[in-house]
């Protein structure tokens, strides 16, 4: 929990840095709070990565326990990365991955609870592609309905609906002069609701049935700074959904839906956790027992 609070503080600081006007950062007492939040999470990372460094230095065999942080530490040992690079990469993974993933899956479960025909199509596909065995990596490409459902959910109810860039040079974009240093906010949430989709304001798999306008569908951002986890995120979401849905039918409390859910929109769009009725009921398939979460 202590780390989660520090991540929250880091997010607040990051948001201020991206959104507040430059004059804000000339007022030192206003900045101090944010600098402290950034430092606290960095220190936490230093401690965690240091523990990992110690474990690696006494490990007899590394091949069996290679992971992202170990790879980074080995790159540091080879001189390809600095200590600061390693800590920052781990920090960014920590803040970029769990929240986006978990909130996306949360919205998806809410959506599936309200769309029984979509659920039926997904269940049919799971039965045909995976059957009763464990899910495997070669199933990923075959889960086309699940994939369309994930895309349509991210289009209709995105977790990240803005991406930002800073103009490095004076530029002209679509006829608009843009001065060097200008912060540019790209409203991908709005872009996903344009006429390029057959039914932009409806949740329907028809929107991804054919001719997907990928140019206008960018839930993971785009260019060299696009989401570093976009492929693994798709795999994780497919595996999570298949594993959950093959065992449980999901219901929301009092028929709640994403459209009426109270949300907060800072750097990401997420449910307002202080509001009621965000829980869900998981009903085991082929059984009358309910798990109320
Ligand atoms: C549904 C889940 C996810 C969504 C919707 C999502 C979305 C995004 C978006 C929109 C960006 C900004 C891209 C831009 O500015 O163009 C981003 C950045 C990033 N994401 Fe994700 N992400 C997800 C999951 C993940 C996961 C699982 C990981 C790690 C395994 C990850 C790692 C990152 C990193 C490291 C960045 C920063 C990249 C950079 O600045 O170069 N994300 N993500």
What's the pLDDT tens digit per position in 69-121? Answer: 999 999 999 999 999 999 999 999 988 888 899 999 999 999 999 999 999 99
Is 104 close to ligand 1, i.e. is its CB under 6 Å away? yes
Q: 171 pairs with which residues across the strands?
A: 178
For the domain spanning 97-292, the CATH number is: 1.10.630.10
What spacing in Å lies between the alpha carbon of 220 and ligand 1's midpoint? Answer: 6
Is 153 close to ligand 1, i.e. is its CB under 6 Å away? no
In the predicted structure, residue 65 carries a pLDDT above the cut 80: no
Selected residue with higher pLDDT from 214 and 282: 282
Q: For 248, phi and psi rounded to 5 degrees?
A: -130, 145
In the predicted structure, residue 176 carries a pLDDT above the cut 70: yes
DSSP character at residue 273: T
Phi-psi region of 144 (alpha: psi -120 to 50; beta: other; left: phi over 0): alpha
- d(CA 108, CA 280) in angstroms, rounded, equals 12
In the predicted structure, residue 4 carries a pLDDT above the cut 90: no
227 known ligand binder: yes
- d(CA 81, CA 50) in angstroms, rounded, equals 15
Neighbours of 247 (CB within 10 A): 13
What spacing in Å lies between the alpha carbon of 97 and ligand 1's midpoint? Answer: 7
Residue-wise pLDDT for 240-260, tens only, equals: 999 999 999 999 999 899 999
pTM, to two decimals? 0.89
Token pair recorded at residue 104: 């996306």
Closest residue to atom 9 of ligand 1, CA basis: 220
What spacing in Å lies between the alpha carbon of 98 and ligand 1's midpoint? Answer: 10
Kindly report, as residue ranges, where domains of CATH 1.10.630.10 are found in the chain: 97-292
Is 97 close to ligand 1, i.e. is its CB under 6 Å away? yes
What's the mean per-residue pLDDT of the chain?
90
């Amino acid at each position: 929990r202590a780390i989660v609070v520090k991540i929250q503080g880091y997010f607040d600081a990051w948001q201020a840095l991206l959104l507040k006007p430059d004059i804000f950062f000339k007022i030192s007492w206003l900045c101090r709070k944010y600098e402290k939040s950034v430092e606290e999470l960095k220190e936490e990372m230093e401690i965690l990565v240091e523990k990992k460094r110690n474990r690696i230095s006494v490990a007899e065999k590394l091949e069996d326990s290679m992971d992202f942080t170990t790879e980074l530490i080995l790159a540091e040992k080879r001189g390809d990365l600095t200590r600061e690079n390693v800590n920052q990469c781990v920090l960014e993974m920590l803040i970029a991955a769990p929240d986006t993933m978990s909130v996306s899956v949360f919205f998806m479960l809410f959506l599936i609870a309200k769309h029984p025909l979509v659920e039926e199509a997904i269940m049919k596909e799971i039965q045909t592609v995976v059957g009763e065995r464990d899910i495997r990596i070669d199933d990923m490409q075959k889960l086309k309905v699940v994939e369309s459902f994930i895309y349509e959910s991210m289009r209709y109810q995105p977790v990240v609906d803005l991406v930002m860039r800073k103009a490095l040079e004076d530029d002209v974009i679509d006829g608009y002069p843009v001065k060097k240093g200008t912060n540019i906010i790209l409203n991908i949430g709005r872009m996903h609701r344009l006429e390029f989709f057959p039914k932009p304001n409806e949740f329907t798999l028809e929107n991804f049935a054919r001719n997907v306008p990928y140019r206008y569908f960018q839930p993971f951002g785009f260019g060299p700074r696009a989401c570093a986890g976009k492929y693994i995120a798709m795999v994780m979401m497919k595996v999570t959904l298949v594993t959950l849905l093959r065992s449980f039918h999901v219901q929301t409390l009092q028929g709640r839906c994403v459209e009426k859910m109270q949300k907060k929109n800072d750097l990401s769009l997420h449910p307002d956790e202080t509001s009621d009725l965000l829980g869900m009921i998981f009903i085991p398939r082929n059984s009358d027992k309910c798990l109320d979460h």
